[in-house]
Chain A
Amino acid sequence: MGQPVMQWQILARDPDTLTAFYAKLFGWRVNTDNAMGYRTVDTESNRGINGGVWPIGPTEGHPLVQLFVEVHDVAAYAAKVEQLGGQVLIPPQTLPDGDQLAIVLDTEGLSLGLMQRRA
């Protein structure tokens, strides 16, 4: 079955400016019509993957890009991350749309998302 990379996410200090930038640059379409007010980004292409933008506060780290990997059991994979020397930053959460998500760090300190679509 595999665990595919499903989307990218940019952590941004100024999400509005950033999404406007990419909309003008590539024509990407941004939609926030969801319970988390999440900026989904549609690249308007049949190839590649889509993404999203999430805000970060002014004192928290720096803007970066994350990848989201789809797994069949977020909690199990979060535990596996720790067994393998990684770290769980945000434990598994259930989003309003039913998807599950956790944020982890790999052994290089890079953060990535573990996600599971709602059944």
Chain B
Amino acid sequence: MGQAFRPGLFGAWVVFDQTDGHCGFTVVVVVSYHRRMKAHVLTDPTPATRRFRQVLQEELAKRCARNPRYSLRAFARHLRLDHSTLSQLLRGRRKFTARTIASLGARLSLAPSVITQLVELERTPPESWAARELKQLSRDAALSLAEWHHHAILELTRLASFRPDVRWIARVLDVPVDDVNVAITRLVRLGLLDMQAPTRWVDKAGNAEARIDDLSLRAISALAGRARALVRSTSGRPAHYSATTLAVPSLTSRRIAERVDRFRREIGELLENADGERDQVYCLELAFFPVADLTPTES
């Protein structure tokens, strides 16, 4: 008989290929994660360049680490802010004024010199911070995670009922075990999933967000098929799936895309402030793209 041994696991590769073409479509797909801030511990080795938003996020993360029951609402109460206002500030949906920084900085017992520095920093263009925030999920990474179940696996880890067992994941997502393992390997390799202990898998995507304009149409099609199947099989569970085809003035299409993006963010904020333990995983899919090729041709 062969000697006893335990599984090894995980493949390794270097090259990612993109096999699906663009097909002449302009596809807007948003792949996003909205996280409770306690899961988003930001670190920056140079405190002098930290923006005030980071300072707040880090402080919230520290408090949540000390007290698992600590919440955004509790932090808002401490800061004497409305929790929705704090949420908007933390997510970058609302700008900090010098007055706000001074007020909140004092509530956090920051030194006046630090507050002055933070006010000055807030006046500088935010490109570098924004770029750093978004680069967490590169274009290649986003493309490699185009299939819906990658994101679903990350979300599953957030459930109280999560079981770090691929057979369980495969069953609840109705995805083959091999597909789950390929996805897990990608997620781990990209640093989006961390298997920290035998019973603890941590979604490390944080506020990762990627906006890509040439996501595989195959992936979109697969997701749509999944949605149709689930809508049929999940009677009684709140769900919505709809598609509308519209004639759109070219100049308006950008505004529509922006409005769709705004809607997505609102959903994220709603989720962030939602009470109760997370016990379900949903997919919110938003796509807006032309379906007709109206490029003039020579007669």
Residues of A within 8 A of B (CB): 6-7, 9, 11, 15, 32, 34-38, 40, 42-46, 48-52, 54-62, 66, 68, 89-91, 93-99, 101, 103, 105, 109, 111, 113, 115, 117-118
30 contacts between A and B (CB under 8 A): A9-B8, A35-B166, A37-B166, A37-B178, A37-B180, A42-B2, A45-B2, A46-B1, A52-B9, A54-B185, A55-B178, A55-B179, A60-B15, A60-B144, A61-B12, A89-B13, A89-B189, A90-B185, A91-B191, A91-B194, A93-B10, A93-B194, A94-B195, A95-B7, A95-B195, A95-B198, A99-B6, A99-B7, A101-B8, A103-B11
Instruction: Kindly provide the distance from the CB of A42 to the nearest chain B CB, expressed in whole angstroms.
Output: 4
Partner of A115, one of B8, B13, B167: B8
Surface stretch bound by A, among B16-24, B26-34, B230-238? B16-24
Partner of B166, one of A36, A113, A118: A36
Q: Are A96 and B10 in contact (CB under 8 A)?
A: no
**Which of B7, B170, B179, B199 is packed against the most chain A CB atoms within 10 Å?**
B7
Q: Are B12 and A105 in contact (CB under 8 A)?
A: yes
Residues of B within 8 A of A (CB): 1-3, 5-19, 144, 164-167, 170, 177-182, 185-186, 188-189, 191, 194-200
Instruction: Kindly provide the distance from the CB of B164 to the nearest chain A CB, expressed in whole angstroms.
Output: 5
Complex alpha-carbon distance, A65 and B164, angstroms: 26
B199 proximity list for chain A (CB < 8 A): 96
A6 proximity list for chain B (CB < 8 A): 5
Q: Which residue of A lies closest to B183 (CB)?
A: A57
Q: Which residue of B lies closest to A33 (CB)?
A: B167
A95 proximity list for chain B (CB < 8 A): 7, 9, 195, 198
Q: Are A59 and B5 in contact (CB under 8 A)?
A: no
A42 proximity list for chain B (CB < 8 A): 1-2
B189 proximity list for chain A (CB < 8 A): 89-90
